[in-house]
Chain A
Amino acid sequence: TQLLEQSPQFLSIQEGENLTVYCNSSSVFSSLQWYRQEPGEGPVLLVTVVTGGEVKKLKRLTFQFGDARKDSSLHITAAQPGDTGLYLCAGTGAGSYQLTFGKGTKLSVIP
């Protein structure tokens, strides 16, 4: 079973601050995704990364896939209250059909 460890589990910051969320594993993943989930709703895909070392930007969000494809990070610049939510990383191993989810990072951005 491939495991994804997310850290921190909880994060509370002031509006305007920067933050980084991490997703780590001892296993190699062929692709990795980041989802955001708001209270009372299902997760929504933010990005998929497939190449080791890949960096993708989505407005103030920057996603990076580690060179060895075992880890990923999500960096948010100048956080806003609208960024509040649960951030989940999820990965698929080589030759695997199953999407494995991390336990999530719950982010609160205080106005």
Chain B
Amino acid sequence: NAGVTQTPKFQVLKTGQSMTLQCAQDMNHNSMYWYRQDPGMGLRLIYYSASEGTTDKGEVPNGYNVSRLNKREFSLRLESAAPSQTSVYFCASSEDRWAGRTDTQYFGPGTRLTVL
């Protein structure tokens, strides 16, 4: 039982390049999330998927796209990377997503992305 896995662990891109961050969970969770973590800013939600086949914008979606490929996998794509997207990206999953209630979110180990 690996929990939440993310690939790659580290990536360096040049401005304008594209890439996809991969995330998979083996806990049969319905909901999945992408966050970015910047020094002094905490964790900010980029996109989430409440269930297979649905995706919604979070707090900071500009410059990103997501795909919920199936129940297990949720990918994040940067179409044209910018230096402002240098960050640590975390994928998380939870059993469900309820209004006004917080299920435990399980986080992956993160992808450290640098855009030059």
Chain A positions near chain B (C-beta within 8 angstroms): 1, 30-31, 33, 40-45, 48, 88, 90-99, 101-104
Contact = CB atoms under 8 A, between A and B. Distances in A.
Given A42-B4, A42-B107, A42-B109, 17 more contacts: A30-B100, A33-B102, A40-B109, A42-B108, A45-B106, A48-B104, A88-B42, A88-B43, A90-B43, A92-B102, A97-B99, A98-B45, A99-B45, A99-B102, A101-B43, A103-B40, A104-B42
B42 A103 contact: yes
**Interface range on chain B (Cβ under 8 Å from partner):** 20 to 34
A98 B58 contact: yes
Nearest to B94: A99
Q: Which of B50, B97, B100 has the most CB of A within 10 A?
A: B100
Contacts of B102: 30-31, 33, 48, 90-92, 99
Contacts of B50: 97
Nearest to B33: A99
Interface of B: 4, 40-45, 50, 58-59, 90, 92, 97-102, 104-110
B97 A97 contact: yes
Contacts of B106: 45
A101 B107 CA distance: 14
Given A30-B101, A95-B100, A43 B45 contact: no
- Which 8 A-B pairs have CB atoms at the shortest separation, nearest pair first? A42-B107, A103-B42, A101-B43, A30-B100, A92-B102, A101-B42, A31-B102, A94-B100
Contacts of B97: 97
B104 A45 contact: yes
Nearest to B50: A97
A41 B104 contact: no
